[in-house]
Amino acid sequence: MAEHRVHFKTQSCEVTRGDRVVFRVDGDETKVGELHVSVQGVAWMSKSKRKGHKMTWEMFDQVMQRAPGWEIPRNPRPRKKKR
């Protein structure tokens, strides 16, 4: 599995309209892409794309709510094996 490194640079301490925070994600020896975070939402810019995949915060929330495996388990204790 690839080891990833994440770098970011910010234009200001508080993200306001027009500002964005950019997280650069690097793989083994190459750039994987950038995650742009702003007041309007998020955008993933893959290394090979000029236009990113953009989502408002509401859209992002809906995607995360529906993503399998993101639910918090109701019973965090391991289940006993049935005999």
**pLDDT tens per residue across span 36-51:** 988 899 999 988 877 8
Question: Residue 61: in which H helix or E strand, if any?
Answer: helix 57-66
From the list 12, 32, 7, the residue with the least C-alpha distance to 22 is 7
From the list 33, 79, 76, the residue with the least C-alpha distance to 52 is 33
Give pLDDT, residue 43: 92
Give pLDDT, residue 20: 81
Give pLDDT, residue 41: 92
